[in-house]
Amino acid sequence: MTTTENDLSAAQQEWEDGALARVLARFPERRPEFRTSSAEVRRVYTPTDVTGLDYKADVGFPGQYPFTRGVQPTMFRGRLWTMRQYAGFGTAQETNGRFRQLLADGQTGLSIAFDLPTQIGYDSDHPMAEGEVGQVGVAIDTLADMEEMFDGIPLDKISTSMTINAPAAILVAMYLAVAEKQGHSMSVATGTAQNDVLKEYVARGTYIFPPRQSVRLAADLITFCAKEAPRFNSISVSGYHIRDAGSTAAQEIAFAFANALAYIEECQRRGADIDDVAPRISWIFNTHNYFFEEVAKYRALRRIWARLMRERLGAKQPESWMLRTHTQTGGSTLTAQQPLNNIVRAGIQALAAVVGGVQSLALSCYDEALSIPTEQAQRVALRTQQIIAHETGAADTIDPMAGSYYVEWLTNELEREATAIMDRVDDLGGAVAAIESGYMQAEIQEAAVAYQREIESKDKIIVGVNDFTEGDEAAPNIFRPNNRVGIEQMKRLANIKTGRDMAAVTASLGRLRDAARGDAHLMPPILEAVKVYASVGEMCGVLREEWGEYTPPTVV
C-alpha cells in the first residue's frame, strides 16, 4: 500500500504531537533555531517537502540538462577531478621549484598565487611595491619571469590556473607567449585565468580601473581566447571571494552569476556569439563547513546556470549550459588558533565538494591563517584529496546525495533564494550598477556582521576559538618571508629593462594607448608589448593614464 501525501502529513503530525512532544518537554533542543548560511533547517524532512520536484526537469541524469547531477555522464568513475594546490612565492625561480615538487608528489595541475604588486599592476621597483614583492605570491614583472617560472614545465601537457584579475589580460598574454616560445601553438595551451574583476570591487580589493573599463578588458581577453586559445578558460567567475568576504551561500551564487552575465553581455556587445564564449567560462566557488548546504549548492549552481543560459540567454549548445567549477576550501574558515584543526575542516569541505561534483579542487592548507603554506602543509592538503579519491568511495557513484529529502529541498531552496537576489540585481540595472551603488557590498557586509555576532555570542561554536580552547599552544612551523626577494627581483627587472629594445617597447605601449582611447580590441597590442618585454607596471600604467583608477563608494 502506497502512503499518500495526506497520510504522510497526518503521520508526521501524530509524531510531532506524540513522541516528539514528550521528548521536547523533558529535553529541549540545543538551540531555538538551526540554520545554514542561507536557510532555516527544520528537524526532519519528508517527501512532502519535495512534492513539486519533477525528476526529469529538475534533477535528470548526469551529463544531461539541467546538469543537477553533474556535467559528465560518468563523472569521477571515468576521471578524477583535477588536484590543483594553490602555490607561488618569492621569485619565479623559487616558484618553479615548488611547482616541480608538487608535480612530483602527484598533483595533476598548477595554480599560481601572484604577489600583491603584480595583482594591482605595479612593477617590483615601484614605491607602492616596497615590502610586498614576492610575499603572498610570486613576483612577475615581465615575460622573462613567466619564462623562468615554467622552465622545464611543458605547457602543452600541464594545465595552469592563475588567480589574477585586474591585469589578467597581460598575465595570460605572457603565459601564451611562453607556450609559443616552448614551440607550441597558443591553441594547445590549457588552463584558467580568474579575470573576474567585478568581484574585486565587492569582496577582495585588487582592482585598478573603473568597473566599466575593467569589464571591457575582461571581455577582450575572453573573445581573444575563444578564437586563438580555445582550450584556455579565459575567465573563472568567482563566488569564492564573495563567500570568503562573508556572504551567504545564496549570495555567493547570485552575485557570481550576476557578474558573469555582465561579462557575457559585454562580449556580445563587442560582437561575440553566446555559444562562442560560454563554453570556456569556468568558475571558482568556496566550500565552507556546513556539509549538506555545500553539496546542495553545487547541485543548485549547475541547474540555475543551465536554465539561465538556455532559457534567458538563448544559448544553443549543451556545452554552453554546463557549469564547470574549480573549488577551494574556505580560507575564512581557517583559524590561527589550533591550526591542525584546519586539516579536519578542509577534509570535510573537500569531501562536500567531491560529493557535490566539482571538476577541480584545492584545499586551503592548515597553516594559511598564519602564512603562505609550507611545503609540508601543501603535501598534507594534496594527500587529503588523494585519500578522498582512493579510500572513501566518494568517487565511486555519481551524485550520491540525490534523493535525500533534505538535500533536494535545500537544493530547491538555494535556487529560490539565489534567483530572488539576482532579480534584485536586475532591478538595479545589472551587476555593474549594483556595484557602483554599493548594493552588493552592503549585502555582503551585513551577512558578515551577522555571522561575527553569532560567534561572539557563541550561537555558533568555532572549535579552538570561542570554545574548546587551550592554554599555551606551541607555535607551528610556518613559512617565513625573506626580504632578499625584493632586492633580487628589482635587480632582475633592471637587467631586463636595460637589455630590451626600448624603441619596440615604446612603440608597443603607444599602440596600447591608442586602443585604450578608442574601442579597439586590446589583446593584440598587449600581446605585442609582452613579447618585447614591456612590464606589467608599464602596461597598467598606460591604462591607468587613459582610464583612471577606481574609487569605491562609501558603504555604511
Rounded distance between C-alpha atoms, residue 240 and residue 199, angstroms: 9
Written in H, E and C, the secondary structure of 433-484 is HHHHCCHHHHHHHHHHHHHHHHHHCCCCCCECCCECCCCCCCCCCCCCCCCH
Q: Which residues contact 210 (CB under 8 A, 6 or more apart)?
A: 547, 548, 549, 550
Pick the closest to residue 177 from 535, 500, 530, 507 (CA basis): 530
DSSP, residue by residue, 329-397: E-GGG--SSSTTHHHHHHHHHHHHHHHHT-SEEEPPPTTTTTSSPPHHHHHHHHHHHHHHHHHSSTTSS
Residue 556 above 70 pLDDT?
A: no
Over the stretch 225-279, which tens digit does the pLDDT of each residue have? 999 999 999 999 999 999 999 999 999 999 999 999 999 999 999 999 999 999 9
Residue 313, SS3? Answer: coil
Instruction: Provide the percentage of residues in the chain whose pLDDT is more than 90.
Output: 88
Give, as one character, the DSSP assignment of residue 511. Answer: H
Residue 478 above 90 pLDDT?
A: no
Q: How far is CA 21 from CA 6, 14, 488, 493, in A?
A: 21, 10, 71, 73
Does residue 286 contact residue 330 with C-beta atoms inside 8 Å?
A: yes
Buried b (16+ CB within 10 A) or exposed e, 104-140: eeebbbbbbbbbbbbbbbbbbbbeebeebbbbbbbbb
Q: Which three cell numbers stand for residue 97?
A: 621549484
- Domains of the chain with bracketed CATH: 78-428+436-456 (3.20.20.240), 488-547 (no CATH)
CA 165, distance to chain mean position in Å, is 11
> Which residue shows C-alpha cell 577582495?
204
Rounded distance between C-alpha atoms, residue 91 and residue 135, angstroms: 10
What is the average pLDDT across 42-56? 95
Residue 471 above 80 pLDDT?
A: no
pTM of this prediction?
0.92
Instruction: Look at 393 and 556; give whichever has higher pLDDT.
Output: 393
Residue 313 above 60 pLDDT?
A: yes
Q: What is the mean pLDDT of the chain?
A: 94
Does residue 231 contact residue 190 with C-beta atoms inside 8 Å?
A: yes
Pick the closest to residue 409 from 52, 3, 29 (CA basis): 52
Rounded distance between C-alpha atoms, residue 145 and residue 491, angstroms: 12
Does residue 84 contact residue 111 with C-beta atoms inside 8 Å?
A: yes
Question: What confidence tier does 554 reach under pLDDT thresholds 50, 70, 90?
Answer: low
What is the average pLDDT across 163-184? 97
Residue 462 above 80 pLDDT?
A: yes
Residue 68, SS3? Answer: coil
Residue 29 above 90 pLDDT?
A: yes
Q: Which residues contact 224 (CB under 8 A, 6 or more apart)?
A: 234, 521, 523
Instruction: Look at 101 and 356; give whichever has higher pLDDT.
Output: 356
Question: What confidence tier does 481 reach under pLDDT thresholds 50, 70, 90?
Answer: low
Over the stretch 209-223, which tens digit does the pLDDT of each residue have? 999 999 999 999 999
Helical pair 405-427 and 249-269, crossing angle rounded to 10 deg: 50
Does residue 112 contact residue 161 with C-beta atoms inside 8 Å?
A: yes
Rounded distance between C-alpha atoms, residue 15 and residue 281, angstroms: 49
Does residue 295 contact residue 285 with C-beta atoms inside 8 Å?
A: no
Lowest-pLDDT choice from 177-186, 396-405, 469-478, 506-515? 469-478
Buried b (16+ CB within 10 A) or exposed e, 300-325: bbbbbbbbbbbeebebeebebbbbbb
Residue 88 above 90 pLDDT?
A: no
Residue 334 above 70 pLDDT?
A: yes
Residue 83, SS3? Answer: strand
Over the stretch 416-451, which tens digit does the pLDDT of each residue have? 999 999 999 999 999 999 999 999 999 999 999 999
pLDDT the model gives residue 484? 83
Instruction: Look at 255 and 554; give whichever has higher pLDDT.
Output: 255
Residue 353 above 80 pLDDT?
A: yes
Question: What confidence tier does 374 reach under pLDDT thresholds 50, 70, 90?
Answer: confident
Residue 1 above 60 pLDDT?
A: no
Amino acid at 76: F
pLDDT the model gives residue 330? 96
> Is the dihedral angle over the CA atoms 443, 328, 485, 140 positive or is it negative?
negative
Question: What confidence tier does 483 reach under pLDDT thresholds 50, 70, 90?
Answer: confident
Give, as one character, the DSSP assignment of residue 200. Answer: I
pLDDT the model gives residue 3? 79
Rounded distance between C-alpha atoms, residue 91 and residue 133, angstroms: 9
Lowest-pLDDT choice from 82-91, 94-103, 345-354? 82-91
Rounded distance between C-alpha atoms, residue 354 and residue 327, angstroms: 9
Residue 521, SS3? Answer: coil
Decide: residue 25, CB within 10 A, 0-12 exposed, 13-18 middle, 19+ buried.
exposed
Does residue 408 contact residue 300 with C-beta atoms inside 8 Å?
A: no
